[in-house]
Structure 1
């Protein structure tokens, strides 16, 4: 996921970039409105928007971004008046976070707006085929089939497969898998994740069905 951070305060921006990077997100930063409009692209998945920018009021910028794109916008600002929140939401923002904020709450809000913006997949398309058709993942029926035979996966094991299937061909960071499957940022679940991945590999019997991407996380092979 690529997050556009629109923030003129260097210290705040650096801290936010570091936290989101550790959480498995790619970020770019714009220090003013003009730069933000120039950086906004088809690969931008979330905009974190400060309202106090040097060249344009953030509410006006929010309105311009919404005129160009349906990208989720989370306003992150020290303005805490109800009137400011109403203006931001009416300008097209999806959420509003007041500084100072807890970074984990901000992360949860980012995930919430991206889930809401993610289009529902038709049931006919909610299948992922791997390894030349040997492995079939059915996201609706919550089944993994190998050569047509259903594999008995636990709920957590299937949840891991489902997260990987939502990002075809992409190395998914361990932190994101833990967050989406266990609903926590606690890294103590790293060993549990490894155990579950090992169980999935053993049960499918397909060599390399889940690839380890060193220093990052895991990827579905052939997806």
Structure 2
């Protein structure tokens, strides 16, 4: 696939009411830009400055650097996407922040639900990686993101789908917490067993 070539839809039929849409039709794309190096801070002054995937956590990024003269700004709720080696990983901005050239911010408009767009980006992450594979190092630009074609249902259906998805993700989180608690109990079992033995309870 050539650089700047849009990801095209396949031959599958979409459900009634759905359509293929370019990401740039329904979202604003803000390409990151690195501010001057002398505006960086290693302590909280100015805005948190996120530069790439290294700042990402499972859902929200963690600030390690701040900037007193930000050039490109993401707002709370914007999707943050890594656009330079690696291409594709996503997070959500939970605060106003400065974004460097390793990231872009995606701001859904009225026709797009944030969590639906986030799920679509993760679904098409492999396609985004292919877009960045032609350069010296993997990278995509704002135009690549704007030209990404995604299946888009009406906004009410997007919200219905993401409500189900979020509930399923919450259930997975609860199951993981329970499993971790069980694992912790298993890890503590030898010490508990020995303690009982020391007290003549075995």
TM-score by length of 2: 0.23
TM-score by length of 1: 0.21
Higher relative contact order (CA 8 A, sep 6+): 2
Task: Select the structure that is richer in helix.
Answer: 1
